[in-house]
């Protein structure tokens, strides 16, 4: 009898927020773990609370989502050191640190708050999210990734009658800080090298282009994303994500690939597919999920089968088996995009017509 190997993407779990519960304590989302054991001494990062809140909003019917959302909102409330300013983290006792100028952390929190405020989470969580968001109406950042998260938050809020004005403020204040065109014909990316969470830049242009009906933003976003996919696809066809330290022009060994890259790539390709139903984008969403299943440079699964968490990094020697909040949240976020793409393919929506970009 011939035994057929299990397809790699079938080796992934059903998406759930339950793996996040192990990271929750009385102060919020614990940032890091020693192996699979959460380490409260690592503190509680504002951006992790924002990410977890946003994912809970995407999975409002999940058994753990309402509880996680309440913990995240409480953490963000304690992190609020003044109107419009979050501390970047709480320590192990729940006290905010003195760093109140971390735009990236703040913008990721706004991303999560925008999703929660417009979700079907309990009304108490929606109202609490809206109250916090209104304190950040004037937020803008010159940092591209912070601006990108704020643009996506604004685009989300524009879809809600109750938050349209706030969404417009966030979107228009921050889109001006987003790099658009590439640096050359051969280097389509708008920065001199690839960095961290690269897909978020293209994703923000696509969200803004859809929200504003701006064809040029859409075109730039699709061009950037298509170039990124080619750049980060190995000859074997799996994703080989750029480590933080790799310069865009070097050929260094592939080390320390982070789960966040899979998530930002999947999320960007999902919005691209909603504009341009090319199989390129849907395949990329599934390949990003497959990266966790072992379709990567080391052929090693990037998630813990015992608790549903994800490992911190793919390294030259295998995996970094610490299970941080960021890695686990990136895994869940990628699985959400995988499931949404499956549903989209099975039940194609009516689409706006956009010009296809070569």
Quote the pLDDT of residue 243.
83
| Whether domain 14-150+164-170 has CATH 3.40.50.720 | no
What pLDDT, on a 0 to 100 scale, did the predictor assign at position 245? 54
Q: Is the pLDDT of residue 153 over 90?
A: yes
Confidence of residue 334 (pLDDT cuts 50, 70, 90): very high
Task: Give the model's pLDDT for residue 253.
Answer: 46
Residue-level pLDDT at 251 = 46
The full set of domain ranges for the chain reads 14-150+164-170
pTM: 0.93
Task: Point out the least confidently predicted range of 156-170, 308-322, 343-357.
Answer: 343-357
* pLDDT reading at 279 higher than 90: yes
Give me the torsion for CA of 232, 282, 145, 42, rounded to 10°: -80
First-residue to last-residue Cα distance in the chain: 47
Is a pLDDT exceeding 90 seen at residue 354? no
Provide the pLDDT for residue 357: 39
**What number of CA atoms fall less than 13 Å from residue 73's CA on the CB side?**
26
- Give the whole-angstrom CA distance, residue 122 versus residue 125: 6
CB-based contacts of 324: which residues, under 8 Å, 6+ apart? 31, 32, 33, 312
Q: What is the pLDDT of residue 254?
A: 44
Per-residue pLDDT for 10 more than 90? no
Question: Which residues, in sequence order, are bridge partners of residue 89?
Answer: 45
| pLDDT tens digits for range 104-113 | 999 999 999 9
Q: Is the dihedral of CA 41, 43, 49, 52 positive or negative?
A: negative
Is the per-residue pLDDT at 212 higher than 70?
yes
Q: pLDDT at position 358, please?
A: 34
Which spans in the chain are helix H?
18-21, 46-58, 65-79, 103-117, 123-134, 144-158, 164-175, 199-212, 215-231, 259-275, 279-293, 325-346
CA distances from 114 to 34, 119, 157, 159, 251 (A): 32, 9, 6, 10, 39
Average pLDDT, rounded, for the chain: 91
Q: Is residue 346 pLDDT above 70, yes or no?
A: yes
**Does residue 280 carry a pLDDT above 70?**
yes
Q: Which pLDDT belongs to residue 355?
A: 45
Cβ burial of 349 (10 Å; 0-12, 13-18, 19+) is exposed
- pLDDT at residue 179, as a whole number: 87
pLDDT for 181 equals 76
Q: Which helix (H) or strand (E) holds 320?
A: strand 318-320
Provide DSSP, 109-171.
HHHHHHHHHTSSS-HHHHHHHHHHHHTTTT---SSHHHHHHHHHHHHHHHTSGGGHHHHHHHH
**Res. 154: pLDDT tops 60:** yes
Q: Which of 72-76, 87-91, 193-197, 207-211 has the lowest mean pLDDT?
A: 193-197
292 vs 352, higher pLDDT: 292
Write down the pLDDT at residue 205: 97
Report the 10 Å Cβ neighbour count for 9: 15
Residue 133 vs residue 183, higher pLDDT? 133
CA distance 344 to 355: 20
- 12-69 per-position pLDDT tens digit: 999 999 999 999 999 999 999 999 999 999 999 999 999 999 999 999 999 999 999 9
How far CA 152 is from CA of 107, 159, 201, 202, in Å, comes to 10, 11, 10, 11
- Round to whole Å and give the CA distance between 180 and 189: 9
For 249, the 3-state DSSP assignment is coil
3-class secondary structure, 32: strand
Q: What is the pLDDT of residues 229-275, one digit of tens each?
A: 999 999 999 999 998 653 333 344 445 899 999 999 999 999 999 99
């Amino acid at each position: 009898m011939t035994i057929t190997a299990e397809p790699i993407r079938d080796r992934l779990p059903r998406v759930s927020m339950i793996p996040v519960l192990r990271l929750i304590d009385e102060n919020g989302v614990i940032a890091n773990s020693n192996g699979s054991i959460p380490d409260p001494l690592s503190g509680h990062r504002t951006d992790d609370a924002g990410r977890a809140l946003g994912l809970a909003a995407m999975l409002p019917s999940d058994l753990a989502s309402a509880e996680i959302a309440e913990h995240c909102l409480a953490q963000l409330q304690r992190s609020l050191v003044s109107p419009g300013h979050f501390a970047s983290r709480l320590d192990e006792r729940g006290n905010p640190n003195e760093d109140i100028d971390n735009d990236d952390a703040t913008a990721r929190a706004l991303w999560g708050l925008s999703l929660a405020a417009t979700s079907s989470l309990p009304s108490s969580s929606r109202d609490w999210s809206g109250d916090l968001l209104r304190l950040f109406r004037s937020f803008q950042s010159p940092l591209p990734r912070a601006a990108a998260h704020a643009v996506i938050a604004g685009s989300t809020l524009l879809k809600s009658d109750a938050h349209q004005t706030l969404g417009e403020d966030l979107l228009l204040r921050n889109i001006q800080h987003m790099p658009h065109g590439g640096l050359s014909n051969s280097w389509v990316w708008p920065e001199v090298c690839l960095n961290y969470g690269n897909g978020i830049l293209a994703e923000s242009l696509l969200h803004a282009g859809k929200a504003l009906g701006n064809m040029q933003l859409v075109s730039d976003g699709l061009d950037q994303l298509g170039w990124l996919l080619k750049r980060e696809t190995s000859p074997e066809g799996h994703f080989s994500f750029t480590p933080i330290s790799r310069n865009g022009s070097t050929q260094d060994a592939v080390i320390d690939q982070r789960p966040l890259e899979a998530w930002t790539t999947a999320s960007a390709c999902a919005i691209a597919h909603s504009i341009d139903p090319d199989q390129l984008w849907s395949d990329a969403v599934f390949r990003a999920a497959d990266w966790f299943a072992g379709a990567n440079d080391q052929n090693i699964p990037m998630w813990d089968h015992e608790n549903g968490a994800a490992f911190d990094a793919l390294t030259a020697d295998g995996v970094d088996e610490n299970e941080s909040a960021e890695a686990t949240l990136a895994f869940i976020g990628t699985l959400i995009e995988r499931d949404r793409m499956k549903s989209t393919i099975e039940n194609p929506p009516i689409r706006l017509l956009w010009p296809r970009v070569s």
